Copies of this chain bind each other. A is one copy, B any other.
């Protein structure tokens, strides 16, 4: 099931721009204080570092990802999720735009 919208949230108006714009996200905050972000990775191969653990949920497009310490690339498509440990990193390869929700913690 694909999460097309998220209701009842506060959205930060200033975008988060990473890697010269290859990744752009907006932060959202739920009434209970939970924070997530909605974003897009444009065609590129990038490495993201994590602070908190993250769950990456694909809502459109697709990517390939490889977790730190692994040699294996996996595909993630709309409706799929993958988990990234905290204080770690992952590589991501995108050939069509990868639209995501990032859940923290």
Contact = CB atoms under 8 A, between A and B. Distances in A.
Interface residues of A, number: 30
Contacts of A26: 11, 26, 38
Contacts of A97: 15, 17, 21
A13 B6 contact: yes
Contacts of A14: 4, 40, 59-60, 99
Interface string A21-42: 1101010110000000011101
A9 B30 CA distance: 10
A5 B10 CA distance: 6
Contacts of A101: 13
Contacts of A99: 13-15
Nearest to A3: B13
A12 interface: yes
The 10 closest A-B pairs by CB, nearest first: A15-B40, A24-B24, A13-B59, A21-B42, A7-B10, A14-B60, A14-B99, A5-B10, A13-B38, A6-B11
